[in-house]
Structure 1
Amino acid sequence: MSEVVAAVRELRPVLRERAQETEDLRRIPAESIEALRQAGFFKLLQPTRHGGLAADPLDFYRAVRLIASACGSTGWVSSVLGVHPWQLGLFAAQAQDDVWGEDQDARISSSYAPMGRATPVDGGFRFSGRWSFSSGCDHASWVFLGGLVLGDDGNPVDFRTFLLPLSDYKIEDVWDTVGLRGTGSNDILVDDVFVPEYRTLSFMDTGKCVCPGQAVNPDPLYKLPFASVFSYSIAVPVIGMATGAYESHVSYMAERVRASYGTKAAEDPYSQVRVAEAASDIDAAWLQLEHNIGEEYRLVVAGEKIPIALRLKVRRDQVRATTRSIGAVDKLFENSGGKALNVGTPIQRFWRDAHAGRVHAINDPERALAMFGKSELGLKVQDAWL
């Protein structure tokens, strides 16, 4: 859907201009969300039966990278809210109708950590809990929440995602951070509500790539592994932030004079090396992602099963992409001089935002790298995020 990507590209200047405002608000301005809606961004991964585009996932990630290169917080929230229509497409048809039946522009935020406790009752579950870090929740009327289903003995028997309407939860404004300040990633509170079973989805089903929504959404897009699609939706904004930091740094350094040495920064060979290293790391991060998700999509389009080896590779390169991007931003920030510390400069904002994105659990490198190494050494790998 090149038209949507092109429309998003045209929004970059205004999103860049709003970056400081976004930080000050501690949430994405409503005007930015509306502009992205009009561009068709939120429809990229939405099922066609509900007015979506069911696009190639690479179109979605390309758009996310562009948004994050203008404003890290806006890129983060756009990616999270934008990937949720894909996940809803995996739910039972009735759940999709509940959300989009009257409003095909309805949005969903999330917090997947299994902080909820669900007790089975007739037709569904009684559900309670408190969750942190629900990015963009102020722009959503539904939420995905992770929870453990408890058996008769009180021990967990399943890990599910629960879909709740705004009337069933409260948002507590607690988001006040040094990075990704504009994401409005506030807490969600749920106090003993009923969730019908059809508005839940087991992580075991998503891991097997066999979900009820595929009965009504046969497009190849909905046969991709959850861990691949979601993990890249968290990594790509960081690649986008690194891209934005690079663009800002090169533009700034081309004009900067280094007072300590009385020379133009652009003529400094050490600065030139840092620029080259950062550019290479950012390119490597993106190219591996592009190759891996492209290969997964090619397989599902052909009706073939995605091998575990490729799924492990996706997770390996996803965390490496984050690591490379952080390294690139660090090189550029260290090379920018004292004035880069000023509040309002793009480079310090990208530096803070990228490091904030890194602390998301899905970006932890050790777990994903250990899974890959374990498999390569002939050991069995079992993980919900594979």
Structure 2
Amino acid sequence: MSNQVLESVRALLPAIAERAGRTDESGRVPDETVRDLAAAGVFRMLQPGRHGGLEGDPVDFFRVVREIAAACASTGWVASVLGVHPWHVGLFDDRAQTEVWGKDRDTRISSSYAPVGRLVPDGDGGHRLSGRWRFSSGCEHADWALLGALAVGDEGRPVDFLTVLVPRADYRIEQVWDVVGLRGTASNDILVEDAVVPAHRVMRNYEQAQLRGPGQKANTGPLYRLPFAAVFTHAITAPLIGAAAGAHDHYTGVMRERVRLSLGGGRFTEDPYAQVAVARAACEIDAAVLQTERNLAELAECAAARRPIPVELRLRTRRDQVRATERAVEAVDLLFRTAGGMSLRRGHPLERAWRDVHAGSVHVANDVERTLAMYGRNAFGATVEDHLI
């Protein structure tokens, strides 16, 4: 089924590429693109089979994401984050899953995981939630949201970090997205004012880090025994690798026919500096793909065999994920520096890719120094405690 999704998506790529400029200028992915991706099955690739999903391999999902992002980075980003959330909902209590997909198996979920919400007990076993969350990519295309929150105890002090699942009726979207890159992701703000949240729609972040979740009782497949820190962070990196690959393809295709009008003239393809830039960029992209796919495959092997996932593998996975983002940025920078002044024009594919990969690189999942320091700390034999490993 994953191959069918990939083939269906490839048929959509010319239209997605044609809409890339409009997506960037309008600040959102067109509705027709989202409908096309939904019909292709992209958003159901990691969704539980019990709820109409394909329950597929994350490696296959991220390959699809990269191809979409090569045509339009904003569209790839939205496809990735909306497509990874069904996997996360699969970790929640089955009552929550039924609420999301019971009437519509194509229901989509956005997120904003920063624990900025305030969650207090309501006295009836549930909670009340209030807060404002930023950067909820693709939220206008979703009917539910996964939101980060702090549980507040009787004395008003935070006592736990949680993720809360909230229906569209309980929040409003404020359109504030006006940024340099990934402009088409419509990563707007979500506001919740004193919404009632039943206990089955709340999950502790600690449980996620420990590879536990109430949804595992119903969703017993290995997909739902993978670390959140691996699956979600790759949803942030995969579109950037794809955008870099798309920039590389555009660069090599256009520059084959280009003739320099300065610096002595001659065919651009004969410039050794351009040749080296192409080689270095391709190497960075290949390394990013190979390392991330290797790690995801090894994680899946552990989950399928029900073996404990070693902390060394979890840290290596995060190490290579943030480096993959760095590699994507480096690849686009190499191409952009040698493409000439024409690529500076707003809306040029290389200019857009340059903005998009730099914008995506500042996501918290791409905190390079912190992540590499965790890997190094473990390598020196020290204890590492972080929910994003």
TM-score range, shorter chain: over 0.9
Tell me the SS of whatever aligns to 1:263: coil
Please, which of 358, 362, 376 is the counterpart of residue 359 of structure 1?
362
| 1:35-87 deviation per Cα after TM superposition (whole angstroms, max 9, x unaligned) | 10111111100000110010011110100000100000000010000000000
| 1:313-335 deviation per Cα after TM superposition (whole angstroms, max 9, x unaligned) | 01000000000110010000111
Please, which of 243, 247, 268 is the counterpart of residue 265 of structure 1?
268
Tell me the amino acid that sits aligned with residue 164 of structure 1: V
| 1:115-158 deviation per Cα after TM superposition (whole angstroms, max 9, x unaligned) | 10111122211110001000000100100100000111221111
In the aligned structure 1, how far is the partner of 2:245 from the partner of 2:262? 28
Q: Which residue of 1 aligns with 2:7?
A: 6
Q: Does 1:190 align with 2:204?
A: no
In the aligned structure 1, how far is the partner of 2:5 from the partner of 2:315? 30
Q: How many correspondences in the alignment?
A: 386
Tell me the amino acid that sits aligned with residue 82 of structure 1: G
1:5-154 pair list within 5 angstroms: 5-121=6-122, 122-154=124-156
Considering only aligned residues, what root-mean-square deviation do their CA atoms show, in Å? 0.7
In the aligned structure 2, how far is the partner of 1:229 from the partner of 1:43? 15
Q: Which residue of 2 aligns with 1:344?
A: 347
Tell me the amino acid that sits aligned with residue 363 of structure 2: H
Tell me the amino acid that sits aligned with residue 318 of structure 1: Q
Tell me the SS of whatever aligns to 2:355: helix
Q: Which residue of 2 aligns with 1:227?
A: 229
Please, which of 280, 285, 303 is the counterpart of residue 282 of structure 1?
285
Please, which of 281, 291, 307 is the counterpart of residue 294 of structure 2?
291
Tell me the SS of whatever aligns to 2:176: coil
TM superposition shift of 1:299:
1.1
TM superposition shift of 1:345:
1.3
Structure 2 unaligned runs (5+)?
none
Q: Does 1:307 align with 2:310?
A: yes
| 1:159-194 deviation per Cα after TM superposition (whole angstroms, max 9, x unaligned) | 111111111001000001110010000000011111
Tell me the SS of whatever aligns to 1:178: coil
Q: Which residue of 1 aligns with 2:171?
A: 169
Tell me the amino acid that sits aligned with residue 353 of structure 1: D
Q: Which residue of 2 aligns with 1:180?
A: 182
Tell me the SS of whatever aligns to 2:133: strand
Tell me the amino acid that sits aligned with residue 141 of structure 2: H
Tell me the SS of whatever aligns to 2:192: strand
1:240-251 pair list within 5 angstroms: 240-251=242-253
Tell me the amino acid that sits aligned with residue 74 of structure 2: S
Q: Which moved more, 1:88-97 or 1:21-30?
A: 21-30
In the aligned structure 1, how far is the partner of 2:365 from the partner of 2:91? 21
Tell me the amino acid that sits aligned with residue 234 of structure 2: Y
In the aligned structure 2, how far is the partner of 1:141 from the partner of 1:133? 16
In the aligned structure 2, how far is the partner of 1:178 from the partner of 1:255? 30
TM-score by length of 1: 0.99
Q: Which residue of 2 aligns with 1:199?
A: 201
In the aligned structure 2, how far is the partner of 1:303 from the partner of 1:385? 21
In the aligned structure 1, how far is the partner of 2:262 from the partner of 2:204? 60
Q: Does 1:318 align with 2:321?
A: yes
TM superposition shift of 1:344:
2.1
Tell me the SS of whatever aligns to 1:257: coil
TM superposition shift of 1:218:
0.6
Tell me the amino acid that sits aligned with residue 4 of structure 1: V
Q: Which moved more, 1:370-379 or 1:119-128?
A: 119-128
Tell me the amino acid that sits aligned with residue 249 of structure 1: Y
TM superposition shift of 1:343:
2.0
TM-score by length of 2: 0.98
In the aligned structure 1, how far is the partner of 2:357 from the partner of 2:10? 21
Q: Which residue of 1 aligns with 2:219?
A: 217
Tell me the SS of whatever aligns to 2:29: coil
TM superposition shift of 1:274:
0.6
Tell me the amino acid that sits aligned with residue 31 of structure 2: A
Q: Which residue of 1 aligns with 2:210?
A: 208
In the aligned structure 2, how far is the partner of 1:190 from the partner of 1:342? 40
In the aligned structure 1, how far is the partner of 2:143 from the partner of 2:22? 24
